[in-house]
Amino acid sequence: MAGAAEPKQDVFQAIADPTRRRLLRLLDGGEQPVTALSGHFPISRTAVSKHLRILQDAGLVHERKVGRETRYRLDAEPLLELKRWLAYYERYWENKLGALKRFVEDEEAAE
């Protein structure tokens, strides 16, 4: 079967930009067209559009044309690579930072 294909852009790179991280969050609320998204930023629609392209090249979002608009949808799957990368360092805070770990978990629970 087809399988992997998309790695045109690095995930780490893609999420490095705060605007792009925010876009992902916004899309968490569901599929949305470009203009709706760009309304949340102080930059031009075109600029937002470019960020969306980068996210798409990293496989984090997918577009779908509906009439005259292009709707973007979140795809969290590529974040698993990040999760795996992070897992490598997991032991650091499991072994040495027990107290801190508990603190963070409390934070997570409280959110």
The residues of the shown chain that bind DNA, judged by CB under 7 A, are 13, 16-17, 19, 33-36, 42-47, 49-54, 63, 66-71
**What residues contact residue 9 under an 8 Å CB cut-off, 6+ apart?**
54, 57, 58
**Any contact of residue 86 with its own copies (CB under 8 A)?**
yes
**Any contact of residue 26 with its own copies (CB under 8 A)?**
no
Q: Locate tokens 């650091």: which residue?
A: 92
Which of its own copies, DNA, none sits in contact with 35, Cβ below 5 to 8 A by type?
DNA
Which residue, 45 or 96, has its beta carbon nearer to DNA?
Answer: 45
**Any contact of residue 4 with its own copies (CB under 8 A)?**
no
**What residues contact residue 64 under an 8 Å CB cut-off, 6+ apart?**
31, 70, 71, 72, 73
Which residue type, as a one-letter code, is found at position 94?
E
Provide the minimum distance between the beta carbon of 92 and its own copies in the complex, in angstroms, as a whole number. 4
Q: Which region, judged by CB under 8 A, interacts with its own copies, from 1-9, 20-28, 35-43, 44-52?
A: 20-28
Task: Count the helix, strand and coil residues of the chain and give each as a percent rounded to the nearest 5.
Answer: 55, 15, 30
